[in-house]
Amino acid sequence: MLFSSGDRDPWNWITGKLLNLVWRITPDCRQVARLTSEGRERLLPLGARLRLGLHRRFCKWCARYARQLDFLLKASHLFAAHVDQLSEPSLSTDAKSRMKRTLQTVASGESRQRRFATQNNDQRPA
């Protein structure tokens, strides 16, 4: 008999050994994220693609990251294909004037703060 009744559960032992092997032969999550991004720009070597795929089979976070990158890539291609269908957003003249007044108020407040700070620096004893 291969396993006696006193041994640990053989399936947990095999699973643990398999996971240890996977983590030893695949890159860590940081490298997987970098390689996944690079893989969207260029074709990675076969060995790197296999190691990435194996890592993603066991790491749900890296698999999720790859799916998110795929989604963003598809969305950007769809956006580029339909950009001519977008209408130009425009603000009302009232909204434009309110924004202009707010920006002028903020800019004048910042210039007053700068003047005040330089005046205080000039008055300090050396």
Helix, strand or coil, per DSSP, at residue 93: helix
Identify the pLDDT of residue 28. Answer: 93
Give the C-alpha separation, 31 to 65, whole Å.
12
Q: What is the pTM (predicted TM-score) of this model?
A: 0.55
Average pLDDT over residues 77-104: 85
Identify the pLDDT of residue 3. Answer: 43
Give the C-alpha separation, 69 to 67, whole Å.
5
**pLDDT higher than threshold 80 for residue 11:** no
Q: How far is CA 97 from the centre of its chain?
A: 37
